[in-house]
């Protein structure tokens, strides 16, 4: 899906979105402690950005209970394209919605590379997310070799076109640009490269669609990255496992 046109912002989404992807971390006690840490901070302060946490599926119910009423949204990390069926080990978008999720991360590089998910698989999952009323956070990003070969923009463009079904709107789609080589490595793209890539992404999605940056975002680099006009928020992995660090990143977005 490609929409060319002017960059615009949906006023309903005037604030940035800071999302924590907990990945496969946390037993129940850890999830409760982390969610409580966030809920306490949310109760004590106003904030200018929207916050989202995406715990493992095993913790969704627990975390939903702790976060209830504190204004932090809940999301899943993946879903199956179908609403239900004989898909052992999978979870559907309807099941995520039923647990209180508003968002689901789809096409994360750890799914694309670790589970062989193609753009078509991601596209079908996005359609499933929309069917269930969830906002799809579609992840795109190039590998180190692709960037060194000058292919980054082309790779991301193909991922956007092939992974996002027709009919996307700024209310149903968020894009996360996560260079694969920056995930969990402590490396981040330069602010120039982030700004250029985000501008290219903005030109290809509906006006007002939020484009998040992800890959080793931490309290030290958050202000610089989130200060870019082209960056509408962050998708945070490792640093989202610390309530202090996540809150500090959220502060940089506000």
Annotated catalytic residue, options 50, 80, 108, 117? 108
- The residue among 176, 162, 192 whose CA lies nearest residue 237 is 176
Burial label for 96, CB within 10 Å (0-12, 13-18, 19+), is buried
Q: Which of 183, 194, 222, 249 binds ligand 13P (CB under 6 A)?
A: 183
Instruction: Say which DSSP state 205 is in.
Output: S
Interface characters, 104-123, with ligand 13P (x: CB under 6 A): ----x---------------
Of residues 17, 101, 189, 217, which one binds ligand 13P by CB under 6 A?
A: 217
CB of residue 168 to ligand 13P, shortest distance in Å: 20
Q: Which is nearer to ligand 13P, 94 or 159 (CB)?
A: 159
If the CB atoms of residues 68 and 224 are measured against ligand 13P, the closer one turns out to be: 224
Cα Rg of the chain, angstroms: 17
| Alpha carbon separation from 205 to 6, 38, 173, 201 (Å, rounded) | 10, 32, 9, 7
- Residues 153 to 182: which contact ligand 13P by CB under 6 A? 178
108 is catalytic: yes
Tell whether residue 237 is a contact of ligand 13P (CB under 6 A): yes
Measured between alpha carbons, how far is 220 from 19 in angstroms, rounded to an integer? 17
To the query of whether residue 200 is one of the catalytic residues in this protein, the response is no
Nearest alpha carbon to residue 64 among 24, 40, 96:
96
Work out how close the CB of 83 gets to ligand 13P at its nearest, in angstroms, rounded to a whole number. Answer: 25
Catalytic residues: 108, 178
């Amino acid at each position: 899906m490609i929409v060319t046109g002017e960059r615009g912002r949906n006023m309903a989404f005037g604030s940035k979105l800071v999302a924590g992807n907990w990945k496969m971390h946390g037993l129940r006690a850890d999830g409760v402690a982390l969610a409580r840490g966030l809920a306490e901070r949310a109760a004590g302060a106003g904030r200018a950005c929207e916050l989202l946490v995406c715990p493992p599926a095993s913790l969704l119910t627990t975390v939903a209970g702790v976060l209830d009423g504190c204004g932090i949204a809940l999301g899943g990390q993946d879903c199956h394209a179908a609403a239900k069926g004989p898909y052992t080990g999978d979870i559907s978008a309807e099941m995520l919605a039923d647990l209180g999720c508003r968002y689901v991360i789809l096409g994360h590089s750890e799914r694309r590379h670790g589970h062989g998910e193609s753009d078509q698989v991601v596209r079908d999952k996005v359609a499933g997310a929309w069917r269930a009323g969830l906002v799809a956070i579609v992840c795109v990003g190039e590998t180190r070799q692709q960037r060194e070969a000058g292919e980054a923009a082309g790779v991301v463009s193909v991922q956007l076109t092939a992974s996002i079904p027709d009919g996307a709107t700024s209310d149903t789609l968020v894009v996360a640009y996560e260079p694969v080589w920056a995930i969990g490595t402590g490396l981040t793209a330069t602010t120039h490269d982030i700004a250029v890539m985000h501008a290219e992404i903005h030109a290809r999605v509906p006006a007002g669609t939020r484009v998040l940056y992800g890959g080793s975002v931490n309290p030290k680099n958050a202000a610089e990255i989130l200060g870019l006009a082209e960056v509408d928020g962050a998708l945070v992995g490792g640093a989202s496992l610390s309530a202090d660090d996540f809150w500090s990143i959220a502060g940089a977005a506000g």
